[in-house]
Amino acid sequence: MKAAFFPALFLATAVLASTSPPYAFADPLQVILERGDTLQVRRIEPAPFDMLRITTLDGDFRYVPTVRIQAVIDAHGQDRTADVLGRRGTLRAEEVPHSAHRHALCWRGHPAPECRSFLITEFGILGRIDNYPFQSGESRVAFTFDLGWMKNVSDRDAVGFSGYAFASDPSARLGIRGRYRRWLSRDTSVDLSPGVLLSGEDNIIDYDPPGLILGATLNGSDLVSLTVETEYSRFKDYGDGPFNPKSRSDVSWRAGAKLGSGLGVAGAAALFGLFLYIGLNGGFE
């Protein structure tokens, strides 16, 4: 089951990503009104009684008298007022060639409208801040990997999910996380990722799923990020015999850095290759 977890998640991610329409909205037109108010619109066309019918970005219609129109500016900053008022022409945002950097699905995330959705491929190296209560002298270093998908639901917000894998000297975990991203700028964002740990193992004590995890991450260009996360786990301690296990729990804190997008995949592949090389040469014996 564990071996099939990430292949199944990758397939689900690809299916969800493929449902995104294979287009992005073109740059909107700007309609400047008589008092300096600016409307972002998709379409302008003549209407009876010396009016203009304007289609907003949400698809709603609005009728504006032509005397209120001061200027119509296209996505390239060109004044198209004469085309609309003088020639009584119809102007559509779709007629403006939109940027080649608009995508329905991005590998490296950016806010809408540049990316409608994007993949999550994060490789992390974290250190445990507190002590592992069941074994002394263990390594505090842990590796994490997230594979998932997010959709921009506005120009500032994105939601989605990711599969989560964690490995350290005493512990291993697999789970799934919901994700919320708040874009602070085109290249900077903050992620919150609460999740459920579905399975796991520990060296000297039996892990008792499910567990809980919560992460917070500050992203830079969706390539490098700083992260902190906390985990709540339960265990069964059979130290007094197989028929009378004691229930124990632990709350752990970790902090570190992550690589995202292509760097995340490269980092995970490099670590896997290193472990494979060591294993093939008898290094784990």
Give the Cα separation of 31 and 63 in Å (integer): 12
Task: Give the pLDDT confidence score for residue 42 in this predicted structure.
Answer: 81
Give the Cα separation of 150 and 36 in Å (integer): 37
Task: Give the pLDDT confidence score for residue 227 in this predicted structure.
Answer: 94
Same domain as 75, residue 137:
no
Same domain as 223, residue 123:
yes
Same domain as 226, residue 109:
yes
The number of domains in the chain is 2
> Which of 73, 95, 117 is a domain's end point?
95
User: Residue 212's Cα: distance from chain center in Å?
Assistant: 20
Task: Give the pLDDT confidence score for residue 160 in this predicted structure.
Answer: 95
- β-bridge mates for residue 48, sequence order: none
For 194, the domain range is 5-21+103-280
Same domain as 190, residue 162:
yes
Supply the DSSP string of 15-54, one letter for each residue.
HHHHTS-S--PPPPEEEEETTS-EEEEEEEEEETTTEEEE
Does residue 190 belong to any structural domain of this protein?
A: yes
Same domain as 228, residue 121:
yes
Kind plus residue range of the DSSP H or E element containing 275: helix 261-280
Does residue 285 belong to any structural domain of this protein?
A: no
The whole-number mean pLDDT for each consecutive block of 10 residues of the chain, a chain of 285 residues, reads 50 47 57 83 84 81 85 80 80 52 81 88 90 77 91 91 89 93 91 93 85 94 93 84 80 92 80 67 56
Same domain as 143, residue 54:
no
Give the Cα separation of 91 and 247 in Å (integer): 69
Same domain as 39, residue 10:
no
> Which of 45, 79, 95 is a domain's end point?
95
Task: Give the pLDDT confidence score for residue 17 in this predicted structure.
Answer: 45
Does residue 9 belong to any structural domain of this protein?
A: yes
Three-state DSSP class for 93? helix
Three-state DSSP class for 13? helix
CATH number of the domain that residue 88 is part of: 2.30.30
The verdict on pTM exceeding 0.85 is no
Task: Give the pLDDT confidence score for residue 88 in this predicted structure.
Answer: 78
> Which of 95, 126, 141 is a domain's end point?
95
Task: Give the pLDDT confidence score for residue 247 in this predicted structure.
Answer: 85
CATH number of the domain that residue 212 is part of: 2.40.160
Does residue 70 belong to any structural domain of this protein?
A: yes
Same domain as 158, residue 66:
no
Task: Give the pLDDT confidence score for residue 98 in this predicted structure.
Answer: 41
Three-state DSSP class for 72? strand
Does residue 49 belong to any structural domain of this protein?
A: yes
Task: Give the pLDDT confidence score for residue 84 in this predicted structure.
Answer: 80
